[in-house]
Amino acid sequence: MRINSLAKEEALRQLVSAEEGLSEAEAAKRLAENGFNEIREVHRTHLSLRFLSQFTHFLAILLWIGAGLAFLSDYLHPGEGMAMLGFAIVGVILINAVFTFIQEYRAEKALEALKKLLPFQVRIMREGKEKQIHSREIVPGDIVFLSEGDRIPADIRLLESSLLKVNNASLTGESEARLRDHDPFQGELIESPNIVFAGTTVTSGSGKGLVFATGMSTEFGRIAHLTSAVESGLSPLQKEIVKATRVVATIAALVGIFFFALGFAIGRDFWDNFIFAIGITVALIPEGMLPTVTLALAMASQRMAKRMALIKNLSSVETLGCVTVICTDKTGTLTQNRMAASKIWTDNRTIETKDYQPQNADMLMYAALLCNNARIVDNAYKGDPTETALLRLARETIGNVAAKRISEIPFDSDRKRMSTVNRIGDRQYVFSKGAMENILPACSRFLLDGAVQEMDDAFREKAIAAYHQLMDMGLRVLAFAYKEGSGQKAEGEGPIPHPPVPNPRSLESDLVFLGLIGLEDPPRPEVPDALTKCHGAGIRVIMITGDGSRTAVAIAREIGLVRGEPVVVEGADFGKMDDRELREKLSAKEIIFARMTPKHKMRVVTILKEEGERVAVTGDGVNDAPALKKADIGISMGISGTDVAKEASDMVLLDDNFATIVNAVEEGRTVYENIRKFITYIFASNIPEAVPYIAYILLKIPLPLTIMQILAVDLGTDMLPALALGTEKPTPGIMKQPPRPRTEHMIDLALIRRAYIFLGPIEAIACMFGFFFVLSAGGWTWGTVISPDNTLYMQATTVCLTAIIITQIGNVFACRTSRESVFSIGFFTNRLIFFGIAFELALQFFIVYHPWGNKIFTTHPIAMSIWLVLIPFAFLLFFAEEARKAVVRRSQSARSTL
């Protein structure tokens, strides 16, 4: 039998314990059998292995192969500068690995955070004596004492309780502290009032209990096991980079092999062909793409941090941009997490609390003030959010009242009401508050305009109608009643730590109905606009809350989450559904989940992902950690979130605001768009890097561009302009487009056509023109063999490199948009572009005119007039691309009108 269903004595017998506690010898034996009361790691990749993994992904392996070939070439045929190429590629791999690891190493700390949530010292009973021990030394069968403020160290079956209230929010998602008792309970363990769970908190009262589960056997432990067992998988961006690098690697390999074979066919020797094959491969592999993507994501994460979204995993920046569903909590995310009294119904009318005028001896306000366990500590309201809201209302309305509490009947889920007996002056009163359906039947009279009248059906109908009206506003509604002259006399004048509990039947009868107070957790003002953005962006928002369905629907209507009649699924019904039924429910346009548990949320996320959705999930409790990790994007709350949720998530909302999620989605879409921009920019330079090698082998001319000069472009001059493209602002209408489908790839045919067939060839024409222009001016004739250290040859290769740099300046402006004219977004709106161009030119001047640059890159100074010859090619490229965009816009406009 479950321990919650057993009587106190039977529970002790089952665990072979006693009210005097275990003996020290028995406790030591059980500690050896069960282990320490702590969360153990199920499986964890060592930090060193995670760092090494940065060197073994596909693009890194591709670069390792390139470096290895370079070193092999230098070993077999020294003097070609291939060793320097190899070291340069290894440097790229190392820098990117270190940078990425530093950004992401904190993402896997959920289990350590779980350990921190367990208390340090605990009061227990052993051998009939009370003592304090470390929480990790608790064993099943120990007797533990609980008091207000304690964090519960293990799963415990209560043996005694005195007004004990426990906040299970971090485990079950319930926002309110619940009264616990020690009577047997026949229902589910998680719902049992005689069970308190590890990691939850005692908010008031005291108790004593029997430990029945410790460490990984607790509910906390099961969540830890589930969290660590969930596989996150690759993000969409990571998948796209893998696909992109495989495509590029395949193209580079095929082209290298083809021209290697072609060289043999036309009579080239092995080493010329081998150097050529490596050169064409290096030219076609965008070595700078990975560090540029990494840096762009890091910059985006910094921008998002300024917008109150802290990104823990770099690839999550882009993943946000492709989410199709956001599963969000209500309290604190859609609402402000600030309970406040907003409406009062009394004297047959509903009024705003700010318009309420108190009467002499205002019994409604007396009830709100005195039937209340909230308190003021250091000028701050402390206690249950609902009760603090009522206390604030009453104090602001009637001020403090000199009264003494004589006794209390705490709230419980069966009675759904709370009552107190208070003495005001020389009179005693009973005050009750609770659910309307439990307070109204206990009333035989009602107060109207200061006069007590007999209860009748007409008044009941008016009260019930008002109650429904307030609930439909999304308010939590409490009813209030009182009567005079009952109760027990106070014993002495000193404080009563635990007031006596009178008989509810005699006390809570023949009451006078006072009225209703509606409390709201106001929606965040930014949320309606954020939801409108989501609707426009084709993102479905699903509320998953622990609150009741009626309140959830009302709030959803108020903020614009639902517009029609939503499908509402309660937790009790959810558990009975099979996967097919759940899939049908989730296909609804508008759906709300109410009274949900952690297991339920995890299942929703799993089904949505199986249906092809890209899911973002919010959460703040321990219970949310598995779902946060399972989702494509886990989003935790920075203010109200537990450490466990924060460590299991990919993003932390520093302001707990749903609108921040939408801002992050916009930033994510912008990042994806900007990555495509700078990939186009980087890929376009591959063609002028590759064409010289093709011309070298087919036309039997001197090699126009060396491998080190290619790396000067890929890892030097291109880097900052590409990063500047990564900082472009969102294009107009980016949040009015649907999420991109899974079938759409970052590098698609349109991007390849634009970079390789349109922009790249223009740059190739410029670089080859510059190369032959200098050779011809220097007297070179076709077929003449020229040595690599010849000044004319070095000047020609320098001009070829300079032509690529100059045309890339035109290209960086052309790539700022894919469809719109650059002039429509403002030519000077991205100042970083100009900083990038300045760096690009400064580096090129170093390469061309400084002796160190000449030595490293085998260049030679050129006349400034040569620059003037090349500059028109930059304008040609830019305006040719503007013309292409205009044609695309006209053709798309024509198709849309058909």
Final residue of a structural domain among 229, 251, 280:
229
- Give the pLDDT mean for 12-36: 91
Final residue of a structural domain among 196, 229, 262:
229
Do residue 717 and residue 574 come from a single domain? no
Q: Say if 272 falls within a structural domain.
A: no
Task: Of 85-89, 429-433, 485-489, 716-720, give the range with the top mean pLDDT.
Answer: 429-433
The pLDDT, as a whole number, for residue 91 is 79
Give how many domains the chain has, as a whole number: 4
Residue 859 makes CB contacts below 8 A (sequence gap 6+) with 709, 794, 797, 798, 801, 847, 848, 853
Q: Has 269 been annotated as catalytic?
A: no
- Least trusted range by pLDDT, from 295-309, 578-592, 783-797: 295-309
Q: Say if 548 falls within a structural domain.
A: yes
The domain that holds 205 is classified in CATH as 2.70.150.10
Do residue 325 and residue 345 come from a single domain? no
Do residue 868 and residue 756 come from a single domain? yes
- Least trusted range by pLDDT, from 196-205, 580-589, 603-612: 196-205
- Give the pLDDT mean for 714-719: 76
Task: State both tokens at 871.
Answer: 């500059």
pLDDT in tens, 150-168: 778 899 999 988 778 887 7
Residue 518 makes CB contacts below 8 A (sequence gap 6+) with 341, 342, 343, 344, 345, 470, 473, 475, 476, 477
Dist CA 238 CA 247 (whole Å): 14
Do residue 224 and residue 147 come from a single domain? yes
Task: Of 80-94, 214-228, 315-329, give the range with the top mean pLDDT.
Answer: 315-329
The pLDDT, as a whole number, for residue 280 is 67
Do residue 529 and residue 464 come from a single domain? no
* Partner residues linked to 478 by β-bridges: 517
- Least trusted range by pLDDT, from 207-211, 473-477, 840-844: 473-477
Question: Where is pLDDT greater, at 853 or 672?
Answer: 853
Do residue 618 and residue 715 come from a single domain? no
Handedness of CA 36, 37, 42, 46 (dihedral sign): negative
The domain that holds 764 is classified in CATH as 1.20.1110.10
The pLDDT, as a whole number, for residue 489 is 43
Answer yes or no: are the C-beta atoms of 282 and 710 closer than 8 Å. Answer: yes
**Own/partner pairs, 408-413, CB within 8 angstroms, 24+ separation:** 408/163, 408/373, 408/499, 408/501, 409/501, 409/502, 409/504, 409/507, 409/508, 410/163, 410/165, 410/179, 410/501, 411/179, 412/179, 412/181, 412/193, 413/178, 413/179, 413/193
- 229, pLDDT greater than 80: no
Answer yes or no: are the C-beta atoms of 339 and 374 closer than 8 Å. Answer: no
Task: State both tokens at 124.
Answer: 């227990």
- Least trusted range by pLDDT, from 201-210, 435-444, 791-800, 846-855: 201-210
Do residue 649 and residue 765 come from a single domain? no
Question: Where is pLDDT greater, at 343 or 296?
Answer: 343
Q: Say if 25 falls within a structural domain.
A: yes
The pLDDT, as a whole number, for residue 513 is 97
Do residue 325 and residue 346 come from a single domain? no
- 57, pLDDT greater than 80: no
Q: Say if 260 falls within a structural domain.
A: no
- 114 pLDDT band (50/70/90 cuts)? very low
Final residue of a structural domain among 485, 502, 531:
485
- Give the pLDDT mean for 715-726: 82
Task: State both tokens at 571.
Answer: 């937790």
Task: State both tokens at 297.
Answer: 């994501």
Residue 21 makes CB contacts below 8 A (sequence gap 6+) with 124, 125, 126, 127, 128, 129, 142, 143
Dist CA 364 CA 346 (whole Å): 9
- Give the pLDDT mean for 569-582: 87
Q: Sort strands 129-134 and 121-126 into parallel, antiparallel or unpaired.
A: antiparallel
Q: Say if 775 falls within a structural domain.
A: yes
Residue 20 makes CB contacts below 8 A (sequence gap 6+) with 125, 127, 128, 143
pTM, entire model: 0.65
Which of 329, 547, 624, 632 is catalytic? The answer is 329
Task: Of 7-11, 260-264, 265-269, 390-394, give the range with the top mean pLDDT.
Answer: 390-394
Do residue 326 and residue 435 come from a single domain? no
Question: Where is pLDDT greater, at 492 or 740?
Answer: 740
Convert 312-334 to b/e letters by CB count within 10 Å (16 or more is b).
Answer: bbbbbbbbbbbbbbbbbbbbbbb
Task: State both tokens at 402.
Answer: 């000199």
Number of H helices, E strands in the chain: 35, 26
Answer yes or no: are the C-beta atoms of 806 and 847 closer than 8 Å. Answer: no
DSSP notation for 664-698: HHHHHHHHHHHHHHHHHHHHHTHHHHHHHHHHHHH
* Partner residues linked to 196 by β-bridges: 156
Q: Say if 842 falls within a structural domain.
A: yes
- 728, pLDDT greater than 50: yes
Q: Say if 419 falls within a structural domain.
A: yes
Dist CA 616 CA 636 (whole Å): 11
Q: Say if 170 falls within a structural domain.
A: yes
- 284, pLDDT greater than 80: no
The pLDDT, as a whole number, for residue 222 is 76
Do residue 23 and residue 146 come from a single domain? yes
pLDDT in tens, 640-695: 666 557 767 888 888 888 888 888 888 888 888 888 898 899 889 888 988 888 88
The domain that holds 622 is classified in CATH as 3.40.50.1000
Q: Where are the beta strands (DSSP E) in 586-656?
A: 591-594, 615-619, 633-637, 651-653
Question: Where is pLDDT greater, at 271 or 888?
Answer: 888
The pLDDT, as a whole number, for residue 498 is 41
Residue 687 makes CB contacts below 8 A (sequence gap 6+) with 755, 756, 759, 760, 761, 763, 764
Do residue 603 and residue 697 come from a single domain? no
Dist CA 13 CA 36 (whole Å): 23
- Least trusted range by pLDDT, from 215-224, 599-608, 682-691, 718-727: 215-224
- Give the pLDDT mean for 830-858: 92
- As a whole number, the mean pLDDT across the chain is 82
Element holding 103 (H helix, E strand): helix 82-104
Domain ranges, residue 225: 3-41+112-229
* Vertex 439: Cα angle to 436 and 443 (nearest 5): 130
Do residue 400 and residue 447 come from a single domain? yes
- Give the pLDDT mean for 561-570: 89
- 492, pLDDT greater than 60: no
The pLDDT, as a whole number, for residue 881 is 95
- 637, pLDDT greater than 50: yes
